[in-house]
Chain A
Amino acid sequence: MHIIDSHAHVDEYEAFGWFDPPETLIELMDEAGIAQAVVMTYADAPVLKANALQYLYEACRRHSGRLIPYARINPHAGNAESLLREAIVDMGMKGLKIHQESVTAAAHHPSVLRLVKAAAKFSAPILFHTGDESLSLPQQFAKLAQEVPEATVILAHMGGYHHTEDAIGLCEKYDNLLLDTSACPYPHRIAEAIRRIGADRVLFGSDGPGCNPALELRKIRRLELSQSEEQLVLHDNIASILERVRNGGSERGNR
């Protein structure tokens, strides 16, 4: 099976103490049998790392066909929308990543909503961090889900350690929300999510290389899904999301 990891990282960012060049991830992908990975930096452009998009672009260009970039952008930045446009149209990036803790904005913040609407115009998915921290709670996504129903919003980590039920419940309520399995420590809750919202709305993600992609993949395999469910979770769901992205005739795209 052609497996696509929908959530991984490449970056070398001293402030967080994480040095993960693309080769680190590629090696772990090879160990795990993962063909492609959606990747983003740890640092947000342009505030934490001015050249974050260029770094990501170059990393993915070196591993064309293996790595698929999402632009991680601070929505408070005055040029956030133009950066997003540059990332998608000029650099061929396929989505937007927002990490509320590092940009100090919850999902309902006006600047977040503005950038999400901009991404939705390209049909680009928006991957959000979710967890137990005060800016990352799943219930904070209700306003966004209501106000931007056309956006494809992926809730990473399924709500972390203590907000899994909120994440699944919110997806039951809003069709434009999906879940990724990365770092979710509870295999049985992934099975439950598939049962409650459908296998077509749950995406395999590893959050590698810090989280071991092989372990994250074993977590999915432990669920003993049907062949068609596994095909959706490990490939088809993210593949169809990426196919819908409108790059506007990108010249530098990473396809």
Chain B
Amino acid sequence: MIVDALALIGTSINGYRLGAEELLASMHQNNIDRCVVAPVQPMTYRLETQNDSVAAAQAQYPDSFIAFCRVDPRQGPDAVAELRRCVLGLGLKGLMLHPMEEGYAVNDTSAVRLVREAGALGVPVVVAAGYPWMAHAQQIRFVAEQAEETTIVMSHGGQINISGLAQADAYLAMEACDNLSVGTNGVYRQDFLEECVEAFGPERILFTSMAPVFDQGFEIDRVRSIKMEELYRQLVLGKNVLRILGMETEGRP
């Protein structure tokens, strides 16, 4: 089973859009069985309505979509309340943070509080990671240390640096915190992912496309180009995220 651990649906204020049906067509074309869907930042700035939308998409396509909410931690108690509404009320399965698009540092006190609350609710957090100032791997390492009960996935391999000079930061963060994993979308140098598999095991690497910002088909090609055992690839391509979500009990082969 192939599961994309992150795609964004809706019309973003940042100029990209992806409809649920478009995503389903892309999944079908690329033989992807299920997909984690999170909201975009809409023109209205209101994430709550987007959370309602992904909940509706999950209800409409329960065999295809696994919905995560998106919350702005700067809203303080209201942010915690929105997370609880989404998880306990709407049945969403995780939290997605996008510090760059919302405009906060991931290690702000309010964000740490929200990540800890996600852990208390038993749901994972995906961070749009790698953005210097906002979501650098070492800032996320700080959060992971403050929220040891929370499973955190860093998109972009925890780095957005096409020199490769942020790889050491992502690697050190992974080394320091067992509750951190990396998503594969857009990762510069596939040998970084190979090193992560070797150093930390395949369980902490997840296929993420982050469509439509990245091309879902090309991103699955990226995972297929990683040099590793095929049984490990099955973990990366879907079993890991299902295990994190408590939807499958299969562990390492």
Interface-side segment among B105-113, B211-219, B244-252: B211-219
Cβ of A160 to closest chain B Cβ, rounded Å: 4
The prevalent SS among residues of B at the interface is loop
User: Is there a chain A Cβ closer than 8 Å to B38's Cβ?
Assistant: no
Q: Is A212 touching B190 in the complex (CB atoms < 8 A)?
A: yes
Given contacts A185-B186, A186-B214, A210-B189, are A101 and B221 in contact (CB under 8 A)?
Answer: no
- What does the 1/0 interface line of A162-201 toward B look like (CB < 8 Å)? 1000000000000000000001011110000000000000
Given contacts A209-B191, A210-B191, are A161 and B160 in contact (CB under 8 A)?
Answer: yes
User: Is there a chain A Cβ closer than 8 Å to B44's Cβ?
Assistant: no
- What does the 1/0 interface line of B123-167 toward A look like (CB < 8 Å)? 000000000000000000000000000000000000011111100
Cβ of A184 to closest chain B Cβ, rounded Å: 9
CA distance A244 to B175 in the complex (A): 49
User: Is there a chain B Cβ closer than 8 Å to A225's Cβ?
Assistant: no
Residues of A near B163 (CB, < 8 A) are 99, 101-102, 129, 131, 133, 136
User: Is there a chain A Cβ closer than 8 Å to B104's Cβ?
Assistant: no
Residues of A near B164 (CB, < 8 A) are 16, 18, 210
Q: Is B188 touching A211 in the complex (CB atoms < 8 A)?
A: yes
Q: Is B221 touching A186 in the complex (CB atoms < 8 A)?
A: no
The prevalent SS among residues of A at the interface is loop
Cβ of B163 to closest chain A Cβ, rounded Å: 5
**What is the interface size of chain A, counting residues whose CB is below 8 A from a CB of the partner?**
30
CA distance A229 to B51 in the complex (A): 44
User: Is there a chain A Cβ closer than 8 Å to B168's Cβ?
Assistant: yes
**What is the interface size of chain B, counting residues whose CB is below 8 A from a CB of the partner?**
21
Q: Is A132 touching B161 in the complex (CB atoms < 8 A)?
A: yes
User: Is there a chain A Cβ closer than 8 Å to B84's Cβ?
Assistant: no
CA distance A218 to B160 in the complex (A): 22
User: Is there a chain A Cβ closer than 8 Å to B225's Cβ?
Assistant: yes
Residues of B near A222 (CB, < 8 A) are 215, 217-218, 221
Residue of B161, B190, B192 near A133 (CB, 8 A) is B161
Residues of B near A78 (CB, < 8 A) are none
- What does the 1/0 interface line of A237-255 toward B look like (CB < 8 Å)? 0000000000000000000
CA distance A207 to B163 in the complex (A): 10
Q: Is A161 touching B162 in the complex (CB atoms < 8 A)?
A: yes
User: Is there a chain B Cβ closer than 8 Å to A117's Cβ?
Assistant: no
Cβ of B40 to closest chain A Cβ, rounded Å: 17
CA distance A101 to B221 in the complex (A): 29
User: Is there a chain B Cβ closer than 8 Å to A214's Cβ?
Assistant: yes
Residues of A near B218 (CB, < 8 A) are 185, 187, 218-219, 222
CA distance A214 to B226 in the complex (A): 11
Q: Is A160 touching B225 in the complex (CB atoms < 8 A)?
A: no
Residues of B near A188 (CB, < 8 A) are 215
CA distance A45 to B160 in the complex (A): 27
Residues of B near A235 (CB, < 8 A) are none
Q: Is A183 touching B162 in the complex (CB atoms < 8 A)?
A: yes
A-contacting residues, B206-242, CB 8 Å: 214-215, 217-218, 221-222, 225
Residues of B near A129 (CB, < 8 A) are 162-163
Residues of B near A132 (CB, < 8 A) are 160-162
Q: Is A17 touching B214 in the complex (CB atoms < 8 A)?
A: no
CA distance A62 to B225 in the complex (A): 27
Question: Closest chain B residue to A209 by CB distance?
Answer: B191
Residues of A near B222 (CB, < 8 A) are 215
Residues of B near A218 (CB, < 8 A) are 218, 221, 225
Residue picked from B162, B189, B191, most chain A C-beta under 10 Å? B162
User: Is there a chain B Cβ closer than 8 Å to A157's Cβ?
Assistant: yes
CA distance A132 to B214 in the complex (A): 17
Residue of B165, B186, B191 near A161 (CB, 8 A) is B186
Residues of A near B217 (CB, < 8 A) are 222
Residue positions of B touching A, CB distance < 8 A: 160-165, 168, 185-186, 188-192, 214-215, 217-218, 221-222, 225
Task: Give 4 new A-B contacts, CB below 8 A, not counting A188-B215, A209-B191.
Answer: A131-B162, A160-B162, A161-B162, A218-B221
Task: Give 8 nearest A-B pairs by CB, closest first.
Answer: A210-B189, A215-B225, A131-B162, A185-B186, A160-B162, A212-B225, A212-B190, A210-B191
